Amino acid sequence: MSQSYLERQLRDGEELLTIVRRSPIAHIWGWVSGTFSIIAGFFFLYPLIHQGLWGRIGLLLLLLGGTFILVRTIILNRMNIFVLTSERVVDIDQQGMFSRVVSECLYQNIQEMSFCVTGVMGTLLHVGTLMIHTAGDRADLHITSIKDPQHVQELISKIQKKISTTSEKDMSATELVHLIDKIRSHVDLVDEPKKTDRKPKKLS
């Protein structure tokens, strides 16, 4: 998902601060099955070709199926992101090729946060789930398969504290960006938005 697309979703006066992407291990079975299908197709290339029509159909299914799985996995991995702006957190959950769920929460509506890291892969790679509990009837946010969820939680807490101690009118987005840059110096877990001169547009 491109930065320009995200900037078009911003409200007036809102600024994109950082983008947290899902770890590739979130779709590990997609990578494995897609790669295995393509390798199997080339491995059995000559035997399948000599099996006549049905052998060639099987070869075609292996290659096309593996390619489709890999393309789908790449799309899901790139489109599943967690966004922090100067006003809110936004969880974009791409559930399929044509299915997307977008959830958001203002910083002042965040009541509690917790995280968990489970499994061998998660422990070794420091990948886990961040759980954001919101006020009122709003649904809680569960951001799965992100690297170093503890540091993401720390980042949100610092932004939330900054907002709670400073009125929104007086709060400078530059101060928030400076705060995030300080945390980035300790852990590399986010994509830094590119600097653009284009003013963000508001969705109608």
Every domain of the chain and the residues it spans: 3-22+81-184, 29-75
Contact 83, 180 (CB under 8 A): no
At residue 113, the pLDDT reads 95
Number of other CB atoms surrounding residue 100 within 10 Å: 13
The whole-angstrom separation of Cα 161 and Cα 157 is: 6
At residue 129, the pLDDT reads 95
Strands 141-147 and 127-134: antiparallel
At residue 135, the pLDDT reads 83
Closest CA to 122 of 23, 31, 19, 20: 23
Mean pLDDT by 10 residues, the chain (204 residues): 73 86 90 95 90 91 95 92 91 87 90 93 92 86 92 91 67 63 53 53 40
At residue 153, the pLDDT reads 94
The whole-angstrom separation of Cα 71 and Cα 112 is: 37
Q: Which two tokens stand for residue 117?
A: 């890291």
Whole-Å CA distances, 61 to 37, 103, 111, 142: 9, 37, 50, 36
Strand partners, 99: 96
Q: What is the dotted CATH code of the domain comprising 3-22+81-184? A: 2.30.29
At residue 197, the pLDDT reads 52
At residue 139, the pLDDT reads 83
Please indicate, yes or no, whether the overall pTM of this predicted structure exceeds 0.85.
no
Q: Which two tokens stand for residue 126?
A: 């420091």
Q: Position of tokens 């790679």?
A: 125
